[in-house]
Amino acid sequence: QVQLVESGGGLVQAGGSLRLSCAASGRPLSGYAMGWFRQSPGIEREFVATINWSGEDKIYADSVVGRFTISRDNAKNMVFLQMDSLRPEDTATYYCAADFGALGAEVREGEYEDWGQGTQVTVFS
């Protein structure tokens, strides 16, 4: 099991940027595919982005393509989500998740075993 802690959320005006970080402890992240998901009140949690263990394979939700970038630093046991050109509809709690042993990037929420507590992102117009 790996423990995940997200940070970097906040309040930002539409068009602005935020960089979310996910710090892991307990196990090396190099053995995990990592993902970012988000959830707004009254809406099911949805996939945002995923990255495979090496960082070579990345997949994004259609709604964030060209605006969000996922990356990882296995040496520091961290994963990042750079969010640019933010929109009010990006407002949500963002969660970092880990899928142990996955060979590729993983979009299926049910495949992730470990989750962080989330960080709130609020975008105002």
pLDDT along the chain (125 residues), means of 10: 96 98 94 96 96 96 98 97 98 97 91 97 97
| Cβ proximity of 119 and 94 under 8 Å | yes
Angstrom CA distances, 45 to 72, 74, 75, stand at 22, 26, 29
103 DSSP assignment: S
- Give the residue among 106, 98, 112 at the shortest CA–CA distance from 6: 98
List CB contacts of 34: < 8 A, sequence separation 6 or more: 22, 50, 51, 70, 72, 79, 96, 97, 98, 99
Residue 31's pLDDT is 86
| Cβ proximity of 37 and 97 under 8 Å | yes
Q: What is the pLDDT of residues 31-62, one digit of tens each?
A: 899 999 999 989 999 999 999 999 999 999 99
Residue 99's pLDDT is 96
| Cβ proximity of 45 and 109 under 8 Å | yes
